[in-house]
Amino acid sequence: MTIQSQALKALIEVGSNPYNAELQNFIRKGGKTCGFLFQETPEEIITAAGVVPVYIRGTKSEGTEMAEAYFRQLTCNYVRNTFNEILDDKWDFLDGAVFYNLCDHARRIFDNWQTLPDNKTYHFMYIPKKRSDLSKDFYRQEIKKLIEATEKHFGVEITKEKLSEAIKLHNEMRRLQKEIYDLQKEEKVYLDGTELAMVMMAGVSMPRDKYSDLLRTLISDLKAQGPQIEPKVRLLYTGGHADNPKFFDLLEQQGAVVVADNDSFGTRACDVLVSEEGDPLEAIIEYYYQQKPAATRQFGTHEERLARLDQLIENYRIDGIISSRLFMCDIWAFEQFLMRNHLQKKNFPLLELEVDYNPEGEGQIRTRVQAFVESVCDKKNI
């Protein structure tokens, strides 16, 4: 670790392990949890039901043998590893799970889970891929259906007051995360890429109030000890489902540091807050439908996404971007194509990786990153 901090240690442990001790302690004390997919599930609605939303992932999976019977080889490995963990009863602690139409691969987790005796899913949301007045009305109906299903499943009433409290809780977490990212804008930075990714991943893997407490302590530890890392090359990471610390370790070599990201659980999760004014349900709808940085699956938002990438390059003084796509993921194939064209026009360094969900071929990734960092150093004349 770059700094001495018990809070950082605890956050890394939570971020690296979806079944972490913080979550298990909460469950032992009677707390309820609900699995969800990033990035478009409106977490505040689950929180307003008195339930902790937990991002479903297969970070700890050691294989896909059991899941192979349910999926074709063309299915991405995030889905197969995650479902393998479900079949291995690792997610039995959940009290429920909601899914949405992220992509055709991910929705099969929902379909297949429903066939199992210990199925945890209780609702599937259809989230429009386009932004228009018509699709916004449809989205509003879908949000209402999610609220009704969540109320029924957990036997609670989701009132406006509870929604307002949930917005405040999640916004507080976003403010603190943003404070950490702001520290990363300085010439010397406070966290390396692995630490940063795990701190952010912890935010979707444990009770949010406890998470904010740990973030507050971490920020005060960081400020007290000052920035410890002087990056020779400042990298930005972007990609889908990179939630394994082993992967980020591979990206930082020869003085290159991932100082920021364009991750759904990173800057995209905290850059914009939900309005705390007016009707809380409308504020949630506005945020997830319109205001939150666009997800890669949303049609017609590519210009907005690329403009945001430019802004991140400027804000964090980025020298090069590393992007990864999981084998078989078509959404990120398109995103990499768009980024490549956009960045080539600016002659901005980009390394595109195609990787397994749980990193394999480490030597090859390491060699490619090494060559990339050298080329960025040449460009900078260092």
- The residues of the shown chain that bind ligand SF4, judged by CB under 6 A, are 76, 78-79, 102-103, 105-106, 240-241, 326, 329, 331-332
Backbone angles phi, psi at 258, to 5 degrees: -80, 105
Q: Which amino acid is at 134?
A: L
Q: Which is nearer to ligand SF4, 171 or 324 (CB)?
A: 324
Least separation in angstroms between CB 79 and ligand SF4: 5
Least separation in angstroms between CB 264 and ligand SF4: 10
Q: Which is nearer to ligand SF4, 60 or 140 (CB)?
A: 60
Least separation in angstroms between CB 78 and ligand SF4: 5
Q: Which is nearer to ligand SF4, 102 or 163 (CB)?
A: 102
Least separation in angstroms between CB 370 and ligand SF4: 25
Q: Which is nearer to ligand SF4, 103 or 373 (CB)?
A: 103
Least separation in angstroms between CB 50 and ligand SF4: 29
Q: Which is nearer to ligand SF4, 102 or 281 (CB)?
A: 102
Q: Which is nearer to ligand SF4, 47 or 296 (CB)?
A: 296
Read off the tokens for 152: 């029924």
Least separation in angstroms between CB 336 and ligand SF4: 12
Alpha-carbon torsion angle 33, 36, 39, 41, nearest 10: -90
Least separation in angstroms between CB 331 and ligand SF4: 4
Q: Which is nearer to ligand SF4, 101 or 135 (CB)?
A: 101
